Amino acid sequence: MKIALQVEYLDGTIEPVDAVFADFVGFERTWQRSVVKFETEMRLTDLAWLAWSALTHRQKTKLKFDPDWIATVAQVIPRDESESPLEK
């Protein structure tokens, strides 16, 4: 299970990142929501949190998710490598 994401920062920097199993487990624990509902209930916060989690696990950011990291982001979008918003 993974989702390929692209983070575009306000300064124009683009960072590709893959959210993987550990990020999904962290999402469910943090937000008390199942990732199974992503297909029907995907939110911007969901994509952003998964990207932040993946970047944190890869030690590419040490900023807190909100408000610090979020304030640096222009957008988070799925990358074309995914078969769907939630690749199995």
Domain assignment present for residue 61? The answer is: yes
Q: What is the pLDDT of residues 23-75, one digit of tens each?
A: 999 999 999 989 888 878 888 999 999 999 999 999 999 999 999 999 999 99
Strand arrangement of the beta sheet that strand 14-20 belongs to: 14-20, 2-9, 73-78
Q: Which domain holds residue 63?
A: 2-78
Residue 86 is assigned to a structural domain of this protein: no
Residue 51 lies in a domain: yes
Amino acid residing at 83: E
Name the region of 69 (left: φ>0; alpha: ψ -120 to 50; beta: rest): alpha
Indicate the pLDDT class of residue 83, thresholds 50, 70 and 90.
very low
User: In this structure, are residues 12 and 87 in contact, taking their beta carbons and an 8 Å threshold?
Assistant: no
Residue 37 lies in a domain: yes
| pLDDT reported for residue 86 | 53
Q: Determine the pLDDT at residue 81.
A: 66
> What average pLDDT does this structure show over 5-24?
97
pLDDT category at 1 given cuts 50, 70, 90 is confident
Go through 37-57 and write b for each residue having 16 or more CB atoms within 10 A of its CB, e for each that does not: ebeeeeeeebbbbbbbbbbbe
